Amino acid sequence: MKDTNSLSHTSYRCKYHIVIILKYRRLTIYNKLRRDIIEILTLLINRKPDVKIIEGEACLEHIHMLLEVPLKYAVSDFMGYLKSKSTLMIFDRHANLKYKYGSRHF
């Protein structure tokens, strides 16, 4: 198995350990929606063609992911995409949370 990727003049191996934690660690929300959050995150990651999930684990109050992100995506931009789209998708699927936690900050 090839462990490095290459572009025309470079060879690279970019793997990032990402931990996603709910704002204020709202465990009541997270425990109810854990499977849905995992499904949404994998769907969004699979939409980016070259990003690969190497490992992932959903713990009691956070999610660990080991992602391989190519050089053409800035990690900060990719995380902004992941956080913003996942928040919108969660609130669209679970509209009752909008009334409990008003301003869509998740």
Q: Tell me if 1 is assigned to some domain.
A: no
Q: Kindly give the confidence (pLDDT) of every residue in the chain, 106 residues in length, as a single tens digit, with 9 standing for 90 and above.
A: 567 777 778 887 889 999 988 776 666 666 777 888 889 999 999 999 889 999 999 887 788 999 999 888 899 999 999 999 988 888 888 777 655 555 555 5
- Number of structural domains (the chain) is 1
The CATH number assigned to the domain holding 61 equals 3.30.70.1290
- d(CA 61, CA 25) in angstroms, rounded, equals 7
pTM: 0.78
Q: Tell me if 89 is assigned to some domain.
A: yes
Is residue 20 a contact partner of residue 42, using CB atoms and an 8 Å limit? no
Q: Tell me if 80 is assigned to some domain.
A: yes
Query: What pLDDT is attached to residue 18?
Result: 93
**In terms of Cα–Cα distance, which of 42, 53, 54 is closest to 85?**
42
Q: Tell me if 2 is assigned to some domain.
A: no
Q: Tell me if 61 is assigned to some domain.
A: yes
Q: Tell me if 5 is assigned to some domain.
A: no
Domain of 16 in residue numbering reads as 11-97
